[in-house]
Amino acid sequence: MSIIGIIGSGAIGTAFATTLARAGIAATISNSRGPDSLKEQVHALGSSIKAGTREQAARADIVLVAVNWGKLPAALAGLPDWDNRIIIDANNPIEAPLFKPVDLKGRVSSEVFADLMPGARVVKAFNHLRAEILASDPKADGGRRVLFYSGNDNAAKAEVAALIDRIGFVGIDLGSLAVGGKLAQFPGGPLPNQNLVKVG
Ligand SMILES: NC(=O)c1ccc[n+]([C@@H]2O[C@H](COP(=O)([O-])OP(=O)(O)OC[C@H]3O[C@@H](n4cnc5c(N)ncnc54)[C@H](OP(=O)(O)O)[C@@H]3O)[C@@H](O)[C@H]2O)c1
């Protein structure tokens, strides 16, 4: 079983940790302020989730990054080589409070994100639903809630697909970052906020 790290303990990082905790999967969650600031949060999440430093979280086999777009360069700076590990990009190129889309010069946000993490195998996932919905029970309306994923490395996608299945969602492969990343990207794609349930 892969070790999981989380960089960003806000709405999405915590929602992801909640889905892992529900399935009893161990993970280390981190933020910019250090593990002491996360004591109450990890206590509420349950015993499988530990607080760590950004560096500790970044050492995991699979690392989910959920940080405000403009803070990504700082959050990812100075970390050890990614060395072919799997990074889940849960980010969207837009920021509160203005919600002005970032000018990506025509590129897909996950490709811009991937440039910040040379040597990582980037899979885009966990970014298309609002955090409260992501955190809620994936068993809904007689079926299982859908999560989309995309990426350029099929083996990395298979591992993320297995994780999505293990935490109780139905994963749908959207293809490459250029194609699938764009479909699920907010703003710009048609899939964000589509809260879909697969029945049967
Ligand atoms: N909120 C949603 O419903 C939603 C839905 C889909 C996608 N997204 C995307 O997910 C990403 C995160 O959004 P969010 O709503 O979770 O944001 P958020 O609640 O503001 O949390 C952002 C997190 O990033 C951490 N962070 C900032 N700078 C850092 C650094 N240098 N090192 C380590 N951690 C750092 C913050 O830690 P500190 O507080 O310690 O600084 C905080 O835990 C964004 O790209 C957003 O577009 C959000």
Distance set, CA 55 to CA 1, 3, 47, 158, 169 (Å): 20, 14, 21, 25, 29
Query: In 3-state terms, what secondary structure has residue 1?
Result: coil
128 pLDDT higher than 90: yes
Burial of 80 (0-12, 13-18, 19+ CB in 10 A): exposed
User: What pTM was estimated for this model as a whole?
Assistant: 0.98
Average pLDDT over residues 29-51: 98
| CA 58/CA 14 separation, integer angstroms | 16
Chain segment 18-32, per-residue pLDDT in tens: 999 999 999 999 999
Burial of 127 (0-12, 13-18, 19+ CB in 10 A): buried
| CA 139/CA 98 separation, integer angstroms | 34
Chain segment 72-85, per-residue pLDDT in tens: 999 999 998 999 99
Q: Are 168 and 139 in contact (CB under 8 A)?
A: yes
- Break the chain down into helix, strand, coil percent, rounded to 5: 35, 25, 40
Strands of 21-77, DSSP E: 27-30, 49-51, 62-65
Eight-class DSSP state of 6: E
Residue type (1 letter), 130: R
| CA 153/CA 171 separation, integer angstroms | 16
| CA 177/CA 125 separation, integer angstroms | 10
Band of pLDDT at residue 56, cut at 50, 70 and 90:
very high
Q: Give ligand 1 pocket residues (Cβ under 6 A).
A: 7-13, 31-33, 54, 66-69, 71, 74-75, 90-92, 94, 127, 130-131
Band of pLDDT at residue 200, cut at 50, 70 and 90:
confident
Band of pLDDT at residue 2, cut at 50, 70 and 90:
confident
96 pLDDT higher than 90: no
Q: Are 28 and 52 in contact (CB under 8 A)?
A: yes
CA–centroid distance, 9 to ligand 1, in Å, is 7
Query: Which atom of ligand 1 has the smallest separation from the CA of 67?
Result: 24
